[in-house]
Structure 1
């Protein structure tokens, strides 16, 4: 007879047919496929990838990512490029609220456009890894409220 999980512990929803799936886990499992799909369909060429960047200056999220990559060793500095110093780290930290705000605005706009294209809140919840349409609506309302406050003078 299979063991029943102890109170406070849950069986794996993937192996137990009587447990509902974990929406966030399912979303995380789709993430690599989502990235490859968009890259294949909309960023397959260098020209397509460049259309979202400023050739003269990195976007705030790119600058923060670059500093983090250089610090972690995920990216190597080019010959003659100065090492990341405390001022670079401070600059990246300074940009984080801007990056977070831009991401909130991007998500709000994407949710509005999804609704405008006829997607249901349940479909949106699935994409976000949320369990219910109510959770997706509430997320949108929080984001819309937060971005409206940030835009106010």
Structure 2
């Protein structure tokens, strides 16, 4: 998988690139990379919520999802998803 030439890199892409090149970054560039983290977190959470929605729509159980995501119980997974969804709903 590669980015299309006319597609801008995501905040996650830019953050990973900054980490990869971290030994070459100036302090200002490092601060710039750190400032990308809220957007990168939001992008990642959007993907996570989307995949969880699809998983449930396809009939996967909370036990199956919990195991795949490394939770100790289906209830812990559900609570995590509820908190994640609530946080996403509060974003502008």
How does the TM-score come out when normalised to structure 1? 0.55
Residues 1:131 and 2:81 are matched in the alignment: no
Q: Provide structure 1 residue ranges, at least 5 long, that are not aligned to the other structure.
A: 1-48, 73-82
Residues 1:98 and 2:39 are matched in the alignment: yes
The residue number in structure 1 matching 2:19 is: 68
SS in 2 for 1:118: coil
Q: Distance in 1 between matches of 2:34 and 2:10?
A: 14
Task: Report the Cα offset of residue 54 of structure 1.
Answer: 4.7
* Structure 1 stretches of 4+ moved >3 Å: none
The residue number in structure 2 matching 1:148 is: 89
Q: Give the paired residue count.
A: 91
Report which of the two has the higher share of helix.
Answer: 2
**Which of 81, 89, 95 in structure 1 is aligned with 2:30?**
89
Cα 1:147/1:54, change in 2 over 3 Å:
farther
Residues 1:118 and 2:59 are matched in the alignment: yes
The residue number in structure 1 matching 2:5 is: 55
Q: Distance in 1 between matches of 2:72 and 2:4?
A: 37
Q: Could you say what the CA RMSD is over the residues aligned between the two structures, in angstroms?
A: 1.4
SS in 2 for 1:130: coil
Q: Provide structure 2 residue ranges, at least 5 long, that are not aligned to the other structure.
A: none
Task: Report the Cα offset of residue 109 of structure 1.
Answer: 1.1
